[in-house]
Amino acid sequence: DAKTTQPPSMDCAEGRAANLPCNHSTISGNEYVYWYRQIHSQGPQYIIHGLKNNETNEMASLIITEDRKSSTLILPHATLRDTAVYYCIVKNQGGKLIFGQGTELSVKP
Partner 1 sequence: DGGITQSPKYLFRKEGQNVTLSCEQNLNHDAMYWYRQDPGQGLRLIYYSQIVNDFQKGDIAEGYSVSREKKESFPLTVTSAQKNPTAFYLCASTSADRGGNTIYFGEGSWLTVV
Residue 15 vs residues 18, 25, 52, 92: alpha-carbon distances, Å: 9, 31, 28, 35
What is the footprint of partner 1 within residues 84-103 (CB under 8 A)? Answer: 87, 89, 91, 93-97, 99-102
Tell whether residue 13 is a contact of partner 1 (CB under 8 A): no
Of 43, 53, 66, 67, which one interacts with partner 1 (CB under 8 A)? 43
Neighbours of 96 (CB within 10 A): 10
Tell whether residue 44 is a contact of partner 1 (CB under 8 A): yes
Q: What is the DSSP string of 71-91?
A: EEEEETT--GGG-EEEEEEEE
The residue ranges that bind partner 1 (CB under 8 A) are: 30-32, 34, 36, 41-44, 46, 49, 51, 87, 89, 91, 93-97, 99-102
